[in-house]
Structure 1
């Protein structure tokens, strides 16, 4: 998301320069700060390709292309009207409005970046916790006992000692009770982030 943040920040600074510097120098300043604005869509599409299911990716990018096609048509008519109405009183108002609108994707990209960094930090804590144990199974048992009580750890130990396999989703089935090791990992992740 760093690319998206740089791109959205460049768009914001471009509109701000055009709104506040009302002479030819403002145009040249805006051209300098807008050099990173093309990174915004690239960073956004890169992030989307990581979080959207590959079978749904074409639909998402098609929707984005349709919005990219219609947005200039609508924005041109709206901001031409705003510019004509405010040219005498506040000549940079339409660019100021665009600057305010460009804060929204910038704030969203920064929020996503911060939550991703927090999630990575939590996962790293969990990995360090697991590395204290001699095997992944023992790590699950000890962490289950630590965060969810000893009875849950004992149930997991019983399933492990029966030497039953797990399916591709990480679900161990004892025939009596099913334990989802992925949800346990999520619980451990959440608990380890609080400490």
Structure 2
């Protein structure tokens, strides 16, 4: 489940098999599920990729499955497959964060292209989260004194001003500054400010 793939959830075996074949023929890794319950049982917070979800199924509906994913704070892009009568429900789901919907009968190539875009979207989200986590991890490595000096640097204060405020020598500020720049993997105060803007703590 951790490998990014299209998670195809449809209780119609013929459609499920046809779409699985279509996606795989386009080089899109695919896992198929016969019900929403099966997919949710297999889902974990580490599940990657996107979900192609039939709106109407026996048992739990696609909409109920979407609600369950939202309740679990899942960020997987969801593409609904819908009949004509369910278009208003699909539009409402888009407003609540669904990635897209396709009304049956749909164009196979257009769906496969959108699934590819959803997989790319998930990859970008994952990279951004990983980057933010990495920055937060670096900040956690700083000593209390380095934190104080970082706050001074971010406020645009000179080393001498920071030294006076903290009642330490300018040389000590320079040493701490060099250490914190190394830990944060930056070379300048501007780089440090930009880095922390990209991952608010």
TM-score, normalized by length of structure 2?
0.35
Q: Which has the higher contact order (CA 8 A, sep 6+)?
A: 1
Question: Which structure carries more strand by proportion?
Answer: 2
TM-score, normalized by length of structure 1?
0.36
Q: Please identify the structure whose Cα radius of gyration is greater.
A: 1
Question: Which structure carries more helix by proportion?
Answer: 1
